[in-house]
Amino acid sequence: MPLSDFTRRRFLAASAATAGLTVGGLPFAAPALGQGKGELRIGLLTSLSGPFASLGESMRAGLQLYLAQAKDGIAGRPVRLTVEDDQAKPEEGVRKVRKLIEQDKVDIVCGVIHSGVALAIRDVVAASNTLTFIAGGSANNLARKAASRYVFRPTKTNWMLGSTAGTWAAEKISRKNVITIAADYAAGREYVDDFVASFKAAGGQIGRQLWTPLGTTDFAPLLTDIAAAKPDFVYTFFAGSDAVRFLQQYQDYRLAGRIPLVGTGAAFDQEDVLPAVGAGIKGAINTFHQSPSVPVAANKLFVDAYRQARGRLPGEFSTSGYVAGQVIAAAAEKVQGDLTDKDKVRDAVLGLDLETPYGPMTFDPKNNQAVLNIYVNEVRVGADGKLVNEVVHTFNGVRDPGATA
């Protein structure tokens, strides 16, 4: 077992003893190289228990990997990382982000997986003018009405994935007879609505739309419906265990290979979902901002390093933690590590032109939202017999429409 795994286990053992504890800063860097600004305090708010526990661990591992690589700290300042668990509950997220800001006096808040948590803490961080980097939660509204001056989002919005899937599927697969099936909560509704909008705009026709409650145990009745309807393809969004069950049962009922499956990348996440799903799902198409095969040097380096650290390919959330670290470091370096003038930091972030494991990243000054390439991934069987997301098409520089949408 690699060393990082050991620390992960040790942390979990500790968290079993005391619920919601802080990982008291492990100074990742050598003592400061001067400048006398002391350590840079970063607070990571993520989900380490509850339904997103596995995603939260990946996000933390990604950020820790970046900090471990940045041996000299960020902009010459050693980094003190404080990790808090929001349990994927908005009210817990608010409590923990207050603790990070008021008690730990962090310079920067980052992380957040659950969109509901992201929206809930938005008012807290906006009121205290805290520099915040939402690395996971992708609700459209954070790039629109809920956008805020010092809240940056170095990841995709749901619209960026849903609308590109609609365009691509209408052009390459079929314009008629499509069934959508998705988890019935905010994210599922956004993905599917944005898919439907762009699919219709491209001349597509939508058939039945199925919504299932979060945590659905058995998809059999719906799969039997889909088999009877014989659609040209199915568009889907599920996350985590719902995704694993849906894809597994899609194969059990022999729909895989007969009815093409198109979806949101999260439903085929490289780290969270694909390892638990059988090879029958190969050929499925998904739109995502992440893939282990994104052809940029930054991604290759990251994928290799992550594999070494955790023995598996990175998915969305491990990449999001790493990219958050990268964006924070790049912005801090532009202002020589001095984060006191927040408008200067903001200008620095908005002026970034980074090569990240997601691909090139710039920020849209109207809503602080990252402009990213969106990839069309096809699930293929890799050389080692394991499933892997391969990029088959790239939508360059996709920009969320922002508040006007």
Partner 1 sequence: MEYYVIQSLNALVFAVILLLSGLGLSVVMSLMNFVNLTHGSLYLLGSYIAVFWMATGQPWYLAFPAAFLGGAAAGLILDRFPFQLFYARTHLMQVLLTYGLSVVFADLMRWGFGAHIATPQIPELLRGVVFILDTPFPIYRLFVLASGVVLAAGLWFLFDRTIWGAVVRACVVDTRIVEALGINTKHVFTAVLALSCGLGALSGALGSGILAAFPGLDEEILILAFIVVVVGGLGTFSGVAVSALVLGFTMTFAKMLSPEFSNLMSLAVMAGILIWRPDGLIAATRREV
Q: What does the alpha-carbon distance between residue 120 and residue 96 come to, in Å, rounded to a whole number? A: 11
Does the protein bind partner 1 through residue 347 (CB under 8 A)? no
The residue range among 143-151, 216-224, 350-358, 361-369 that interacts with partner 1, by the rule CB under 8 A, is 216-224
Residue 7, interface with partner 1 (CB under 8 A)?
no
Q: Distance between CA atoms of 316 and 136, rounded to whole angstroms?
A: 8
| Residue span binding partner 1 (CB under 8 A) among the ranges 170-178, 212-220, 297-305, 326-334 | 212-220
Touching partner 1, residues 227-256 (CB under 8 A):
227-228, 240-241, 244-245, 248-249, 252-254
Contact 30, 76 (CB under 8 A): no
Closest CA to 267 of 313, 306, 234: 234
Rounded CA separation 181/223 (Å):
10
Binding residue (CB under 8 A) for partner 1 from 26, 69, 211, 344:
211
User: Among 164, 169, 328, which Cα is nearest to 235's?
Assistant: 169
According to the binding rule CB under 8 A, does residue 284 interact with partner 1? no
The least distance separating partner 1 from the CB of residue 114, rounded to whole angstroms, comes to 14
Least distance to partner 1, CB of residue 211, Å? 5
Residues 9-48 that bind partner 1 (CB under 8 A): 9, 12-13, 15-16
Q: How far is the CB of 212 from partner 1 (least distance, A)?
A: 5
One of 67, 109, 192, 222 touching partner 1 (CB under 8 A): 222
Nearer to partner 1, 224 or 308 (CB): 224
| Cβ at position 85, least distance to partner 1 in Å | 12
Q: Which residues here bind partner 1, judged by CB under 8 A?
A: 9, 12-13, 15-16, 50-51, 53-54, 57, 184, 210-213, 215, 217-218, 220-222, 224-225, 227-228, 240-241, 244-245, 248-249, 252-254, 272-273, 275-278
